[in-house]
Amino acid sequence: METILKETFARTISVSGSLENDPIVAPQAQGTFFITLKPDAKALKLNITMQEESHLQLFIYNQAESAADVDIRIEMQKDAVCRMGLLDLQNAPLHWNQLVELQNEGADFEILSGQLCMADQKKTGDLEVRHTAGHTHGEIRNFAVLLDRGNYEMVANGNIEKNCPEAQSHQATRVLTLGEDHTAKVIPLLLIDENEVKASHALTIGQPDEEQLYYLQSRGLTTKQAIGLLSVGYFLPVLDMIEDQDLHDRIRAEMESKVGLNGRTSDTE
Amino acid sequence: MTELVIQDLHVSVEEKEILKGLDLTVRSGETHALMGPNGNGKSTLLAAVMGNPKFTVTQGTITLDGKNVLEMPVDERSKAGLFLGMQYPSEISGVTNSDFLRSAINARREQPIGLFKFIKEMDKAIEQLEMKPDLAHRFLNDGFSGGEKKRNEIVQMMMLKPSIAMLDEIDSGLDVDALRIVSNAIKQCQSEMNTGLLIVSHYARFYEYLQPTHAHILIDGQIVVSGDQELVEKVDHDGYEWIEKEYHVKAAKEETKQPISLGSCAVKQGA
């Protein structure tokens, strides 16, 4: 299904079952596109074309209660700007595949993802930001929190092709491991076939600092609550992409509940 | 009336005994000054009472109103009414002061604190400590100056309303104005909640503000002499040497870490 987004838009979609959508963001159009994967969602396939000087704020919020596939292609033309967020706190597997092509000068793409990985539910991501023109900018920032037996795999690829001078590709993936028996596999890739570029990658995988945990506990937070608070801190940059304050607050409350922050809870709960 | 009772406390760090049989009782409304040369166990005592896992209690008891503190995890000690204002508070990026404090308050309540009430209380504490109004939205101690961190500890104390508060060199890093502001806030908190205070500091000026009801000198893991404000003044004037002579004790020397050689690169030996 092809949709044309013109002028100023604020589009909201809830996905039940499967959805395939091919939105075209018209030249100089700007707006927000908020997609919720409902509890019964199975698959989302998006082919987005961003035409010249278009601006898009894209956010995907996963509420699917069983395994879901997310497949996204974005083609960005001259001076198109896209800010994307993906928040996935579900106790269910997610297979996420995404290719962004920066096809003309001035194309600018940034993604922030936040994923909570719970017991035996595998989250996989394969993201590529491909620069096929010079003077383009791509940035990937992934945040993941792994609880007991959580499983996270992420391939983040910044690909600058030949004849793309002054292209910039940056990426950072931060994984906070909590509990035991978790698996994290992150492959940061920079494929660069051009000399005059700026590129960087950063990766951290590790447990919370013991001093920080003690400090939080010394103010009355249980281990579970302290870890929950640190987890919220990890996801906050992603959540803060949501401009609608009511929606922001509602999702934040859901997030706090999922990481065990609400009310007096004990570690044995 | 709350009563913190410490009896025959022995505490070790990495198998080295720091506290060697310490007795101390702190009650509601009292202000105890704890002094002593560096490296003799003052911070160790406070950390052990709070339950810092780096410190191992090998002997003795700590009770709060008859309840065994040593059996409580750290968070339960806080919820029971103990508070430790730390010498080096942790910096936690990503967690805002307001989220942290709201969570800490809610952790000790059946029903979450109302947002309006929370904001009002936090604004009051921030104003009292003369901190910048954006404190609530800044990440916890992240990028704070030394003085801001110490003031923030007192903001937390005011919000959490402990029955016994321990302050570990909370005056270090404060300029003269900040010292007065922090002292006034501590005194107000004490007068409102009848808090018992156990205060570690090297400086008589801080104690002048707080007017301790009791003073103790901790040397080599034991309290060797107790008194009142006069004892603080004498130490400020004469140092600790007279105590070592009079009470036949020797202060432990603070260990300074020496650089360790990791070896050297291969060098060409001359023939």
pLDDT given for residue B269 in this prediction: 56
For A175-182, what is the mean pLDDT? 88
**pLDDT digit string (tens) for B202-220?**
999 999 999 999 999 999 9
Q: Residue B154's pLDDT is what?
A: 96
In a domain, B209, yes or no: yes
Neighbours of A246 (CB within 10 A): 8
- B140: closest CA of chain A, how far (Å): 10
Domain ranges in chain A are: 2-207, 209-269
* ipTM of this complex prediction, to 2 decimal places: 0.92
Residue B195 lies inside a defined structural domain of this protein: yes
| Percentage above 70 pLDDT, chain B | 95
In a domain, B234, yes or no: no
The residue of A215, A236, A255, A265 whose CB has the most chain B CBs within 10 angstroms, and thus the best one to mutate to test that interface, is A215
pTM: 0.82
A179 CB-contact burial (10 Å; exposed 0-12 / middle 13-18 / buried 19+): middle
Which of B74, B101, B106 has its CB closest to that of A263? Answer: B106
* pLDDT number for residue A234: 84
The predicted pLDDT at position B271 comes to: 45
Q: What is the mean pLDDT of residues A68-86?
A: 97
Give tens-digit pLDDT for B74-103: 999 999 999 999 999 999 988 999 999 999
pLDDT of A24 reads 96
> Does residue B249 form part of some domain?
no
**A217 Cβ under 8 Å from any chain B Cβ:** yes
Q: How many domains does chain B have?
A: 1
Element (H, E) at A224: helix A223-239
Mean pLDDT of chain B: 92
Write the pLDDT tens digit of every residue in B101-146: 999 999 888 888 988 999 999 999 999 999 998 999 999 999 999 9
Instruction: Evaluate whether residue B253 is within a structural domain.
Output: no
> Which of residues A92 and B254 earns the better pLDDT score?
A92
Residues in A closer than 8 angstroms to B51, CB to CB, are 217-218
pLDDT at position A266, please? 38
**Tens-digit pLDDT profile for residues B146-181:** 999 999 999 999 999 999 999 999 998 899 999 999
Indicate the helix (H) or strand (E) that contains B58: strand B56-64
Contact with chain A for residue B219, Cβ under 8 A: no
Predicted pLDDT at A224: 85
Please determine, for residue A265, whether its predicted confidence score (pLDDT) is greater than 50.
no
Using CB atoms, which residue from A209, A219, A236 is nearest to B78? Answer: A219
Q: Which residues of B touch A219 (CB under 8 A)?
A: 78, 100-101, 104, 107, 156, 160
Identify the band that residue A267 occupies on the pLDDT scale cut at 50, 70 and 90.
very low
Q: What are A155-166's pLDDT values in tens digits?
A: 999 999 999 999
Q: Do B40 and B252 form a contact (C-beta atoms < 8 A)?
A: yes
Interface probe for B, chosen from A217, A227, A236 (most Cβ of B below 10 Å), is: A217
Chain B (143-202) residues lying within 8 Å, Cβ to Cβ, of chain A: 156, 160
Q: Assess if residue B180 is contained within a domain.
A: yes
Q: Which residues of B touch A214 (CB under 8 A)?
A: 52-53, 74, 90
Q: Would you call B92 and A215 a contact, using CB atoms and an 8 Å cutoff?
A: yes
Strand bridging mode A30-50 / A55-62: parallel
Question: Quick check: A124 and A116 in contact, CB under 8 A?
Answer: no
A230 interaction partners in chain B (CB closer than 8 Å): 92, 94-95
The bridge status of strand B222-227 relative to strand B214-219 is antiparallel
Say whether B106 and A264 touch across the interface (CB within 8 A).
yes
A26 pLDDT above the threshold of 50: yes
Q: Among B75, B96, B105, which would you mutate to test the A interface (most chain A Cβ atoms within 10 Å of its Cβ)?
A: B75
B197: domain range? 3-226
Find residue A205's DSSP bridge partners.
A175
Task: Name the pLDDT band for B263 (thresholds 50, 70, 90).
Answer: low
pLDDT at B265: 62
Asked if B78 lies within 8 A of A234 by C-beta distance, the reply is: no
Is B166 part of any domain?
Answer: yes
Contact residues on chain A for B111, CB-CB shorter than 8 A: 263
Examine residue B263 and state whether it is found in any structural domain, yes or no.
no
Residue A75 · residue A101 · CB < 8 Å: yes
Q: With bands split at pLDDT 50, 70 and 90, how would you rate the model's confidence at B254?
A: confident
Give the range among A197-206, A251-260, B82-91, B189-198 with minimum mean pLDDT: A251-260
Q: Residue A157: CB partners within 8 Å, gap ≥ 6?
A: A126, A127, A128, A129, A189, A190, A191
Domain with residue B110: its CATH number is: 3.40.50.300
